[in-house]
Amino acid sequence: MFLQILLNLLIAFLWMFINNDLSVSSFIIGYLLGVVILLFLRRLRNRPFYLRRLWAVLKLMLIFIRELTVSNFVVIGHIIRPKLAIRPGIFAYETKLSSAWEVTLLSCLICLTPGTLTLDVSANNKILYIHAIDIKDAEEMALQIRRSFEQTIMEVTRG
């Protein structure tokens, strides 16, 4: 992936110098030309294209920002209500992620989202013990984590 990014930037700068135009528009044209060239070269090397993974990283960040915003409002709603009607609890979440890096990223995203906290990870890195400020349905919460964070983490790490 790093080599593809480097080659794309090299093509963009070469395009700028060949045309003797050091403007941003010339760089963008060269960059897009590099994307097209790398798309054709990708088929020869049989490697995934880096923009696909870059899109997955952007998607993960947007999902995190959405979850962060929604959970902030939910927690604020719990705080400003006159009567505290929460059901805190701990549930075990079985993950399909395999590497330690993936599990760590998932744990951090869960911890950074208000209202949830990863307490522990099992020795085999397959079960996360998560504390939530308000658990209506543990299965629903696990499904939400699986659909949002876990699926997108797999797109980022496995291409």
Reading the chain (159 residues) residue by residue, the pLDDT tens digits are 677 888 888 999 998 999 888 899 989 999 999 888 888 777 776 667 777 888 889 999 999 999 999 999 988 988 898 888 888 999 999 999 989 999 999 999 999 988 899 999 999 989 999 999 988 888 999 999 999 899 999 988 886
pTM for this prediction:
0.75
Q: Delimit the domains of the chain by residue range.
A: 2-45, 50-158
**pLDDT score for 95:** 93
The one-letter amino acid at 97 = L
Q: With H, G, I as helix, E, B as strand and everything else as coil, classify residue 90.
A: strand
Q: How far does CA 60 lie from the centroid of its chain? A: 2
Residue 37: name the closest of 50, 25, 18, 24 by CA: 50
Strands of 31-123 (E only): list them: 89-94, 116-121
11-17, Cβ contacts within 8 angstroms, sequence gap of 24 or more: 11/37, 11/38
